[in-house]
Amino acid sequence: MAASPDFSHFVKTDAEGRSRIDLAIDGITCAACLGDIETAMKRLPGVMNARLNLTSHRLAVTFDAARIEAGGLTGALEAIGYRAYPYEQRKVEADEAARFHLLLKCLGVAVFAAMNIMLLSISVWSGEGASMSNETRDFFHFLSALIALPAAAYAGQPFYVSAWNSLRQGRVNMDVPITIGVVLALALSVYETWRHAPQTYFDSAVMLLAFLLAGRVMDQAMRRKTRAAAGNLAALKGENALRFTPGAQETEENLVLTPVAALAEDDRVLVRAGERIPADGVIENGASSVDESAITGETLGKAVRVGDNVYAGSINGDGALKLRVTAAGNAALIDEAARLIDAASAARSGYVRLADRVSQLYAPVVHVTALATGLTWYFFLGAGVHDALVIAISVLIITCPCALALAVPAVQAMASGAFFRAGLFLNDATGLEKIGEIDTVVFDKTGTLTLPEPRVANADDIPPDLLDLAARLAHSSSHPLARAVALSARSAPPLPDARETQGMGVAAPFGQTEAWLGSAAFCEIESPGAHADASAIFVRHGARWARLLIRQTLRPDAARVLDRLRESGLKIAILSGDRSEAVAPIARGLGVESWSGGLKPADKIAFIDERAAEGAKILMVGDGLNDAPALAAAYASLSPIDAVHLTQTQADAVFLGDRLAPVAAAIAIARRARGLMRQNLAFAVGYNAVAVPFAMSGHATPLFAALAMSASSIIVTVNALRLRGPGKAVTLLLGEPKNSGSEPVRKAAPPNPVAAPSA
């Protein structure tokens, strides 16, 4: 007995001591393969969990290394007809490209052969009862055989190999009825040609292969496009980084070109202008503008300087940056996004599981139905062997459950891609369906409706030179309000010789006099009084001064998104742990009538449970640690990707960027996907309800059966392709604002809000 291959270097160990390996699987053709593979894995001793991603053909196995070796897993898969090897992105992509090119070549051969055979068949049909002699008709049949047999032998490879592997292991997948139907149609046609019969079915067999291959190519292309998202994200990190030699002076001479995979936390790296940032990190020296469009979807450049966080995959603009790595290996934000994409495409919702179970049971039913139909016609309805066999072949072809198997996975694959393009990543298998069913959206305030960090709210009212001066002073202060001021002008360099008085402010010589940033007393200014809903910090240079109002600002599109959600029929509420005085102006500005402040996690859960008891299906959107229980209690949930980890894990999906548009996109895409899933399932069921009796009654020829079955598969795939991106879906759900010419009615804020503390 051959020894198991050593895959130990591909095995990872989690925090609980369990081993995990990702395997690439060859030979997967349909949903039935999924159940076979996962069941075979779970039967092995020591295997705790096995999850197959139908989109990427990636099998994640969690096992006890003390009871079974990783190499034993691949042996068990090969025993049931599947080749398995450790998942490596480049090798998998190369193998996938080779399979796709084979499908294209098979499709080309099948289409070319089908067109030529149809020309000959049309000549035979038009010559019946006319001047065509029997010899000419036989000659055309003979030519059809010369074209069809080698073409079918080549073009049918994907089906024949899969069917043979399945039968060899005592299983039946969807390629078995296809193969039997094609082989029987060809064999019967050869026999009919030999007997000088008036009809053959070479056109049916080759046409069936052409249409099925077209559907499979479309499905493969769709899945490759969705799957490429995670691979493209991983590629954004680049391969190498300029790392300063640890312990040495951080100069150009001590830079070493290092693979990105070898970077460790707290390494120092240099990123030159125009280069891609290799790892998540915090800037220790330098200032620049970075393009984070690949990470957050924001197309405008973002100014960054000392103390700011930057993310792997972003492109550095016009200045050199020295970074301290904060997330090494596969812990970067971009890796988390790639994992979420992979999890989304591997997730199986209720509709997917239903379709999987039905399609697995359906394949054996196809053969029994075809056999029973043929025997019934021969023994009880007076048909001859030829006619009974033709009817059985038609039933075998027309009842193949390809459309049913593709109905939901095709939509889910497209939905995952649409989510990614909208800056969203699914966490939970059922999230797509649940988000599509919600009727109420509940938002947390801080960090969700507002940006995570406070900003200068009145920046447009302050002279630009004073604002820049304030930012330069703020870079030398550790006060939270100074941090907000620094964000207003990131590119401004810090002032030299700055001196900070703890808790009061910072001062530095500037020009011919001093510049101050801090409290009114520190800047020797008579305070104009507290502001109702903001903290204040002052800047002074000579006789000139300005008050900077610091508050958490709304996400840029918050008002527009909430207006659109309301117009789509959704109810909106705000639940916040912040004080009511801080929540009131936010609710008033957004026109939200149902809001509460000063809530504890239990209060938020009580609100959700109360509404759920009334029949509401609530989508909770939150980011804080105190939001995690509410996210778990809600019918569906969303969270920003910069939320705390516990909150992310409770969310059905997470979103990127500073905008709320992904929330609207999630609802739009989920609603659209849910509708398409139901349409596809209804069509697949309806097709079989009509086509099967029609074929069993003897009214369907093999050619008609081939066209009908192939067309059904293509229809559900094309229907899924309608979900190509968030733009159309958002328009379909939200449309244009009905009240674009006027503001929505806003609820008045409670009187006498308490002023925020000043610096």
Among residues 3, 13, 24, 22, which one has the least CA distance to residue 64? 13
294 within 8 A of 337, measured Cβ to Cβ: no
Q: How far is CA 434 from CA 366, 439, 723, 738, in A?
A: 33, 10, 18, 27
Q: Are strands 618-621 and 636-640 parallel, antiparallel or unpaired?
A: parallel
Q: Could you say which DSSP state residue 151 is in?
A: H
Q: At residue 711, what is the residue type?
A: A
C-alpha 164/C-alpha 58 separation (Å) is: 22
Among residues 132, 123, 141, 143, which one has the least CA distance to residue 199? 141
Alpha helices in 591-660 (DSSP H): 601-613, 628-633, 645-650
Write the CB contacts of 660 (distance below 8 Å, at least 6 apart in sequence): 449, 555, 557, 558, 561, 562
| Cα angle 559-333-51, degrees, rounded to a multiple of 5 | 105
* Strand, helix or coil for residue 331: coil
Beta strands in 248-362 (DSSP E): 255-259, 268-271, 280-285, 288-291, 302-304, 309-310, 315-316, 321-327
What angle do helix axes 385-398 and 175-194 make, rounded to 10 degrees?
A: 150
| Cα angle 599-601-603, degrees, rounded to a multiple of 5 | 55
Burial of residue 742, with CB atoms counted within 10 A of its CB: 0-12 exposed, 13-18 middle, 19 or more buried = exposed
C-alpha dihedral sign at 243, 244, 250, 255: negative
Write the CB contacts of 12 (distance below 8 Å, at least 6 apart in sequence): 19, 20, 21
C-alpha 732/C-alpha 729 separation (Å) is: 5
C-alpha 160/C-alpha 461 separation (Å) is: 73
Among residues 171, 166, 181, which one has the least CA distance to residue 211? 181
In whole angstroms, how large is the CA radius of gyration of the chain? 33
Instruction: For the beta carbon of residue 693, count every other beta carbon within 10 angstroms.
Output: 12
Burial of residue 679, with CB atoms counted within 10 A of its CB: 0-12 exposed, 13-18 middle, 19 or more buried = middle
313 within 8 A of 337, measured Cβ to Cβ: no
Q: How far is CA 648 from CA 187, 334, 637, 641, 702, in A?
A: 58, 15, 10, 7, 53
C-alpha 177/C-alpha 165 separation (Å) is: 14
Write out the catalytic residue numbers. 444
List phi, psi (to 5°) of 684: -60, -45
C-alpha 126/C-alpha 115 separation (Å) is: 16
Intra-chain end-to-end CA distance of the chain, in Å: 77
> In angstroms, how far apart are the furthest CA atoms of the chain?
113
Q: How far is CA 562 from CA 591, 617, 631, 658, 659, in A?
A: 8, 17, 19, 15, 12
Please identify which residue in the block is written with the tokens 């939901």: 408
Strand arrangement, sheet containing 315-316? 302-304, 288-291, 315-316
Please identify which residue in the block is written with the tokens 């996962």: 38
- Residue 516 β-bridge partners: 507, 540
Write the CB contacts of 358 (distance below 8 Å, at least 6 apart in sequence): 401, 404
